[in-house]
Amino acid sequence: MSRVMVVWCPDWPVVAALADEGLPTHLPAAVFSANNVSACNDGARRFGVRRGMRRRDAQSRCPELKVHAAVPDRDARAFEPVLAAVEELRPGVAPLRPGLLALRAPGRFYGGEPAAAALVAERLVGLGVWDCRVGVADELFTAEQAARRAEPQDCHVIEPGASAPFLRGLPVEAIEDLPDGRDAVSLMRRLGLRTLGDVADLRASDVRDRFGPQVAWVHRVLGGDGAVLLATRTPPPELACHVDFEPPLDSAETISFSARRTADRFVAGLAQQRLVCTEVRIEARAEGESDGEVACSRVWLHPRWFGAADLVDRLLWQLQGASGPTPGRTGAVRAPVDRVVFEPVTVVPEAVHADGLWGGTEERVERGIARVQGMLGHEAVVRPVLQGGRSPRDRQAFVAWGERPAGLRPRSIDGGPPWPGTIPPPAPSRVLADPWAAEVVGPAGRPVAVDDRGAVTCPPERFRAEPSGGWQSVAAWAGPWPIEELWWEASGGRKVARFQVVGVDGRAWLLTCDEGVWWTEAVYD
């Protein structure tokens, strides 16, 4: 079989997160999943931060640590330019995961495997990926381990037939990135296995039964077998469309009208691939500018997907916003435009956004919201989404219109029961932005409180829930639902108990007793 080349970009989730926020890569940063470190960079490792470490332990070792949520879509999107750059040198790239790719080693064409690896590293450095490492071997697993032991922007070549001796000297920690690899490594340590050579000396049936199919595959590789065919991808089709104007046009309305057929062609090209575009970059190049410069460029988001009319509208708004008012010339741009480009940033299968049985947001409403968002800014128009939390306010999150939610807390614990301390349904219809001061008393006007065991000191008889409202009697009540929050903080945290209270007027309230002080948190209208 052909030799395999693996390109590894270490700590890619951290690199993608820092690049997404425009931060330099030397800052200590980590990506967290389920409140544990899933990836960290060298800046964080210098302070003792390691994978698998809890968030509070990592931040105690490095208070300046940049914290990022795990977003697989962001990592894959940031890795796409790397895949495209390598595909220009050698078609047939197999993306293993964001930050790791494989291909058949193009050694003969470029004058040797080290020369081909140097060319790949040079191309990636040109993209701004400074830490890239290349490994070449007879098969995939050995090539990946060789890449992990190469220096930055360098190549580690395992000569033909030398894979087994190279692998036998590696520690068993080399298989940690395999599925269920950490559990297998933990078991190997307890059994006294320290290197892959120790694993190779075991019988194949014992390895398969004790450690699973992934380690059994590594065992076959150690025995000179186990090579797999690369699942190479077909280079994605060119989906971007552009139109040139000769002579250049200087009116926003004329430019938008002239780009209508190009917008139709853009949408039709996506439809042929059974795709729709949810995020698009629109560029307008002014006359006399170089190919790398544009008069105005902007990325637009859509809550569903872009049609031709949506693209034309966004182009018009973009040109009007970038040009500003020009005295005496309505709709004029500051410089004549000779090219308009529609480039998809995010595409999804068209089935994802198929119309539901009861329809969705009306198209005119979506266009109006997008227009307001274009005038006020991307973060100025938001929509509420539901996430996990104990209180109604904690369960609210706001996401920019047209953007997919990311980094939300799960609604349940590991897909099972809801969060501890969550009030039972029904949910309140109105959550107050700022809680109102309230009062609750029992018999003889005695204040109601909650003791350390979570029991009320006396049953509530009267309450006042609104700042301008009067006292009324309690018709029914439920609770308390006590919860102790932030108990690990130096301040000692706080103890909160929530009550559902119904007045004699029929209105229901969600009241909170916070260390003996009562607040109105939400209303059941």
Q: Delimit the domains of the chain by residue range.
A: 4-137+146-152, 163-222, 241-365, 430-524
The single residue listed with the structure tokens 């100025």 is: 380
The CATH number given to 4-137+146-152 is 3.40.1170.60
**Please, are residues 510 and 524 in contact by the beta-carbon 8 Å criterion?**
yes
At 232 the pLDDT is 66
Q: Are strands 296-301 and 332-349 parallel, antiparallel or unpaired?
A: unpaired
What letter would DSSP give residue 420? T
Indicate the range of 236-250, 277-291, 447-461 predicted with least confidence. Answer: 277-291
Q: Residue 293: pLDDT above 90?
A: no
Confidence bin at 52 (pLDDT 50/70/90) = confident
> Per-residue DSSP letters for 339-401?
EEEEEEEEEEEGGGGPPPTT--S-HHHHHHHHHHHHHH-GGGSEEEEE---SSTTTTEEEEET
Residue 12: partners with Cβ closer than 8 Å, 6 or more residues away: 39, 75, 78, 79, 98, 99, 100
Distance from CA of residue 324 to its chain's centroid?
Answer: 35
- Measured from the Cβ of residue 141, the count of other Cβ atoms closer than 10 Å reads 24
Q: Residue 13: pLDDT above 70?
A: yes
Token representation of residue 506:
């029929």
Mean pLDDT of the chain: 82
Cα–Cα–Cα angle for 367, 368, 373, rounded to 5 degrees: 95
Confidence bin at 262 (pLDDT 50/70/90) = very high
Write down the H helix ranges in 176-307.
181-190, 196-200, 204-211, 213-222, 252-258, 260-272
At 357 the pLDDT is 44
Task: Give the tens place of pLDDT for each residue, 207-222.
Answer: 888 888 888 888 888 8
Superfamily of domain 241-365: DNA polymerase, Y-family, little finger domain (3.30.1490.100)
Q: Between 139 and 409, whose confidence is greater?
A: 139
At 355 the pLDDT is 52
Q: What are 306-309's contacts with CB under 8 Å, separation 24+?
A: 306/267, 306/276, 306/277, 306/278, 306/280, 307/267, 308/260, 308/263, 308/264, 308/266, 308/267, 309/263
In this prediction, residues 332-348 reach a mean pLDDT of 84
What letter would DSSP give residue 146? H
Q: Positive or negative, the Cα torsion across 402, 407, 410, 411?
A: negative
At 260 the pLDDT is 92
Distance from CA of residue 85 to its chain's centroid?
Answer: 23
Token representation of residue 414:
């590991």
Task: Give the tens place of pLDDT for each residue, 306-338.
Answer: 888 889 988 888 888 766 544 444 456 777 888
At 451 the pLDDT is 83
Indicate the range of 78-87, 156-165, 398-407 predicted with least confidence. Answer: 398-407
What is the separation, in whole angstroms, between the first and last Cα of the chain? 70
At 326 the pLDDT is 46
Token representation of residue 156:
């580690």
Confidence bin at 14 (pLDDT 50/70/90) = very high
In this prediction, residues 18-45 reach a mean pLDDT of 89
Query: In degrees rounded to 5, what are phi and psi of residue 104?
Result: -70, 130
The SS3 call for residue 153 is coil
pTM: 0.52
Nearest to 139 by CA among 114, 164, 121: 164
10 Å CB burial of residue 300 (0-12, 13-18, 19+) is buried
**Please, are residues 477 and 465 in contact by the beta-carbon 8 Å criterion?**
no
Task: Give the tens place of pLDDT for each residue, 70-104.
Answer: 888 899 889 989 988 888 888 888 888 899 998 88
Residue 10: partners with Cβ closer than 8 Å, 6 or more residues away: 99, 131, 133
The single residue listed with the structure tokens 């395992």 is: 158
Q: Between 415 and 478, whose confidence is greater?
A: 478
Confidence bin at 415 (pLDDT 50/70/90) = low
The SS3 call for residue 261 is helix
**Please, are residues 69 and 406 in contact by the beta-carbon 8 Å criterion?**
yes
Tallying the residues shown for the chain, one arrives at: 525
The single residue listed with the structure tokens 């940049």 is: 66
Q: Are strands 382-386 and 296-301 parallel, antiparallel or unpaired?
A: unpaired
Token representation of residue 444:
């003889």
The residue type at 181: G
Q: Residue 380: pLDDT above 80?
A: no
Confidence bin at 225 (pLDDT 50/70/90) = confident
Residue 512: partners with Cβ closer than 8 Å, 6 or more residues away: 391, 435, 496, 497, 498, 499, 518, 519, 520, 521
Indicate the range of 22-26, 108-112, 190-194, 500-504 predicted with least confidence. Answer: 108-112
